[in-house]
Structure formats: C-alpha cells, structure tokens
C-alpha cells in the first residue's frame, strides 16, 4: 500500500441525508481539485436509501412498493444500500503519479482488510474473473459473506464516493434488491461475524478505520 496520509472528518454522530452529503462532497472535490484542501477521508452514516451506479440494471432495483428511496448516482459500481449502523467512507483524494482509479480501489480494499483483521474478522478482496465486470469490495474469509461495498469515481484526477462497511443493525434491506450486481450475495456485518461477542462500537470502528487509512483529524486553528 502506498503511504497516503489523510485528513479525517468524523460525522458519525448523526445520520446525514444522502443528497446533502453529495452536495458537500462536490464542494470538497472542487476544493481538492483547486488544492484548497488536503486528501480527505469523510466518515458518516446515512438515512436509509438505495443508490445505484450508472450501469445498474433496472431488474436489480427493489420493488416499487418498497418504502426505501432509490437514487441514481454517477459513481461506479452497482446498487447498494445505506442506513443506520453502516459506516460510510468518502475519499476525496488526488491520484498519485502513475495511479489509476482501479489502483485506488485496490488500495482501499487492502486497507479495509487490515482494519477488519484488527476488529477480529479475517477478510479478503477478490480478483475479477477474466471477462467479468470489475469485482470490488471486501468479503469475510471464514464465511464468504460480503461485508464492504465499494463504488468510486474520479474526475480531474480527484476521487469521490468510497466504501460502505456494515457494522451493526438490520441487514434485511439488502434482501429487497440485488446488491452489488450479485443475486446470490450474502451481505454481512461486523456484528454478525462476531457471534456471541459484544460488537465494537461505531467509535471503535471509526478509530480502527482511521488508523488503517493513515487518517488524522485536522489540527484546530490557532486562537
């Protein structure tokens, strides 16, 4: 993994509406393009919503009567779910020399594998079979379930969007649609993978993710 120190923004103390987060992420992207902000990892959680990448087949959407809204996005990847108990990480970073978006995604996967190991969950990324669409995300090694979804976009050499790690809470919404373009995928969470144990708090997961991503809170301005 390349060294990539990041400035951390931790907004996990409340749920953030998705469209409001997209507006703020766009502002961060513009600031990074103009070199007005450092590489940034923004951690947050969303109100319940399904989001779909540009190439998500309509057949993968939830049924019309589902009360969770669906929003089309400009990121890569397929349909995913966001909701309470999930840690979302948006990466607003400038690609390093010789680095492409796939390289960045692989770096994110490796860092998430490292973080999950620290939480007591052996995990792995998977290679894309020849001729298949890019396979992204992180799976648990022992149970073969998917625990993290990844979808990113790069414009003017700066990334947006990122990853969603299921930590605690209800996994039922994942069964209402075809997650990640894989009809047979079994989505899981940190809580589910540690049966009989007290799951780590969101604060503990945030700290573990921050360490794996070399992310530290920005220093307070001088008085």
Packing angle between helix 101-118 and helix 202-212, nearest 10 degrees?
130
Closest CA to 80 of 70, 65, 91: 70
Which domain CATH number covers 209?
3.30.930.10
Closest CA to 126 of 114, 109, 151: 109
Query: pLDDT tens for residues 69-114?
Result: 999 888 877 899 999 999 999 999 999 999 999 999 999 999 999 9
Rounded to the nearest integer, the mean pLDDT of the chain is: 93
Bridge partner residues of 86 (DSSP): 166
Whether 127 has a pLDDT exceeding 70, the answer reads: yes
Q: Is residue 56 part of a domain?
A: yes
Is residue 221 in some structural domain? Answer: no
Give the tens place of pLDDT for each residue, 153-182. Answer: 999 999 999 999 999 999 999 999 998 888
Would you say residue 1 lies in a domain?
Answer: no
Mean pLDDT computed over 201-210: 98
Rounded to two decimals, the pTM is 0.94
CB 107 within 8 A of CB 163: no
Structural domains of the chain, count? 1
Could you tell me if residue 222 is inside a domain?
Answer: no
Contact predicate 30/62, CB 8 Å: no
Question: Could you tell me if residue 189 is inside a domain?
Answer: yes
Q: What is the pLDDT of residues 42-71, one digit of tens each?
A: 999 999 999 988 778 888 999 888 999 999
Q: Check residue 1 and give its pLDDT.
A: 64
Give me the catalytic one of 180, 202, 209, 212: 180
Judge whether 44 counts as a catalytic residue.
no
What is the domain range of residue 45?
A: 6-216
């Amino acid at each position: 993994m390349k060294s990539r120190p990041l400035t951390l923004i931790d907004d996990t103390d409340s749920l953030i509406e998705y469209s409001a987060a997209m507006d703020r992420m766009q502002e961060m992207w513009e600031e990074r393009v103009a070199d007005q902000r450092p590489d940034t990892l923004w951690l947050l959680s969303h109100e319940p919503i399904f989001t779909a990448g540009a190439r998500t087949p309509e057949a993968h959407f939830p049924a019309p009567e589902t009360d969770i809204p669906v929003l089309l996005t400009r990121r890569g990847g397929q349909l995913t779910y966001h909701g309470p108990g999930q840690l979302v990480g948006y990466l607003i970073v400038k690609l390093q020399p010789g680095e492409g978006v796939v390289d960045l995604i692989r770096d994110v996967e490796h860092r998430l594998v490292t973080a999950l190991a620290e939480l007591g969950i052996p995990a792995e990324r998977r290679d894309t079979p020849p001729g298949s669409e890019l396979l992204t995300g992180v799976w648990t090694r022992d149970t073969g379930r998917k625990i993290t979804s990844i979808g990113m976009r790069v414009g003017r050499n700066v990334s947006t969007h990122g990853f969603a790690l299921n930590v605690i809470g209800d996994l039922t919404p994942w069964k209402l649609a075809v997650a990640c373009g894989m009809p047979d995928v079994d989505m899981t969470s940190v809580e589910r993978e540690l049966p009989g144990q007290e799951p780590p708090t969101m604060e503990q997961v945030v700290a573990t993710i921050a360490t794996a991503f070399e992310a530290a809170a920005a220093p307070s301005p001088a008085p």
